[in-house]
């Protein structure tokens, strides 16, 4: 029994209560921290073109390229009921989140990752909710999410992104890009890609990038806005059709010398060539608006 029980409350100095008031939460906090999930850091030596797979139900995944021939995985599980497995098999590193018991609540199935990989790494990422952010990775990439947004910067290779509701932003990407979603918005900025295929149902699509010679650019949605920005020096063949919506155009198009377009029987459509028509652009919408606008 503590001696304090023998001391009348009114005799205790006020400062002692203040101290106790501060001490108890601190102790509780310390015990909570010590029993809680732990940040984990793992390193894997890899050869050229390693493959890194990440399977996570929910969380923030940040992947950055570095110059080392090594993969570093820093993981922070949200709960001590789950753990992160990271293992190497040859030149492949597999990272996954798994539950430690059968009774883990869906909200506890969350882990955040900070991962560094060599520039030439190939990535395969599944993350249902949260976000995925990748920068400076030049290898092929496959990202699948449900609600998580996907941000790629300075990526190359074959980039395949599939979300259900998550947004997709690609900045300064140079690879082949294929993206699909149901309600996610797409922002494709400062691209230098030969092949872009982007399809979202109710999301908006913004394309503001270069049109490379012989490049193909296909942008499609059901509703929402598809916006394409062009400069006076760009060169492309354009086809824009909205079945029930509008097509607004600021480009001075001439009839295409490469192929004869027939005006469609349905919807609003625009066909033509801008400058030499070196790239091919196809924009299609069901009842959305298509804007072809001069770059600011």
Partner 1 sequence: MATITCRDFLAYLEPWMEGERPPDAQAHVRTCSHCSGVIKDLEAIHTEAGSWNASEQDAPERVWTALRAQLEQEGLIHDTIPAGEGRTRAAAPSAGWFAGLFPRLPRPVLAGAYLAALVAVAFALSGPVNKRVNEARWLKGTQISTSPLSAQLNFAEQNSNSYVSRSSPVVAASLHQNLAIVDNYIALCEKSVSEDPQNEVARDYLYEAYQQKADLLTQMTERGENVQ
What the block records as the tokens of 80 is: 């001590």
Nearer to partner 1, 136 or 202 (CB): 202
* Closer Cβ to partner 1, 160 or 174, answer by number: 160
The DSSP 8-state label assigned to residue 20 in this structure reads: H
Minimum distance, C-beta of residue 56 to partner 1, in the bound complex (Å): 12
**What does the alpha-carbon distance between residue 137 and residue 66 come to, in Å, rounded to a whole number?**
9
Cα 36 to Cα 29: distance, rounded to the nearest angstrom: 10
- Least distance in Å: CB of 96 to partner 1? 11
C-beta of 80 vs 119, nearer to partner 1: 80
* C-beta closer to partner 1: residue 113 or 222: 222
Type and span of the H or E element at 156: none
CA distance 21 to 31: 16
Q: How many CA atoms lie within 13 A of 183 on its CB side?
A: 4
User: DSSP letters along 44-56, please?
Assistant: EE--SS-EEEEEE
Work out how close the CB of 110 gets to partner 1 at its nearest, in angstroms, rounded to a whole number. 8
Under 8 Å between Cβ of 113 and 131 = no
Which CB atom, from 201 or from 275, has the smaller least distance to partner 1? 201
Closest CA to 46 of 115, 136, 121: 121
Chain residues that interact with partner 1, rule: CB under 8 A:
57-58, 106-107, 109, 128-129, 146-147, 164-165, 182-183, 201-202, 222, 241, 243-244, 264-267, 286-287
Nearer to partner 1, 46 or 270 (CB): 270
Closest approach of Cβ 109 to partner 1, in Å? 6
Name which of 184 and 209 has its Cβ closer to partner 1: 184
Least distance (Å) from partner 1 to the CB of residue 220?
A: 9
CA angle 169, 171, 173 (to 5 degrees): 110
| Cα–Cα distances in angstroms (integers) from residue 130 to residues 36, 74, 111, 113, in the given order | 21, 17, 10, 11
Considering the complex, state which of residue 158 and residue 286 has its C-beta at the smaller distance from partner 1: 286
Distance of closest approach, residue 85 Cβ to partner 1, in angstroms: 15
Minimum CB separation from partner 1 for residue 202, in Å? 5
Contacts of 57 (CB under 8 A, 6+ apart): 97, 106, 109, 110, 127, 128, 129
Token pair belonging to 64: 């950055």
What six digits make up the tokens of 248?
């607004």
To partner 1, the closest distance from the beta carbon of 8 in angstroms equals 51
């Amino acid at each position: 029994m503590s001696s304090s029980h023998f001391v009348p409350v009114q005799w205790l100095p006020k400062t002692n209560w203040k101290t106790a008031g501060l001490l108890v939460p601190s102790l509780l906090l310390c015990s909570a921290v010590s029993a809680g999930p732990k940040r984990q850091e793992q390193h894997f030596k890899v050869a050229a073109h390693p493959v890194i797979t990440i399977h996570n139900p929910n969380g923030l995944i940040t992947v950055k390229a570095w110059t080392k021939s090594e993969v570093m995985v820093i993981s922070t599980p949200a709960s001590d009921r789950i753990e992160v497995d990271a293992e190497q098999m040859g030149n492949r590193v597999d990272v996954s989140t798994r539950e430690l018991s059968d009774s883990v609540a869906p909200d506890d199935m969350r882990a955040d990752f900070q991962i560094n990989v060599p520039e030439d790494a190939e990535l395969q990422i599944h993350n249902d909710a949260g976000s995925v952010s990748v920068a400076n990775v030049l290898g092929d990439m496959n990202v699948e999410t449900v609600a998580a947004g996907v941000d790629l910067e300075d990526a190359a290779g074959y980039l395949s992104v599939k979300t259900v509701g998550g947004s997709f932003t690609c900045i300064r990407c140079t690879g082949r890009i294929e993206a699909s979603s149901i309600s996610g918005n797409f922002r494709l900025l400062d691209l230098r890609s030969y092949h872009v295929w982007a399809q979202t149902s109710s999301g908006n699509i913004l394309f503001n990038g270069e049109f490379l010679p012989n490049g193909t650019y296909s942008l499609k949605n059901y509703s929402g806005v598809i916006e394409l920005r062009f400069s006076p020096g760009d060169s492309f063949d354009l086809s824009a059709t909205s079945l029930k919506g509008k097509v607004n155009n600021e480009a001075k198009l001439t009839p295409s010398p490469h192929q004869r377009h027939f005006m469609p029987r349905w919807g609003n459509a625009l066909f033509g060539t801008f400058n030499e028509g070196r790239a091919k652009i196809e924009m299609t919408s069901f009842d959305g608006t298509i804007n072809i606008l001069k770059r600011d």
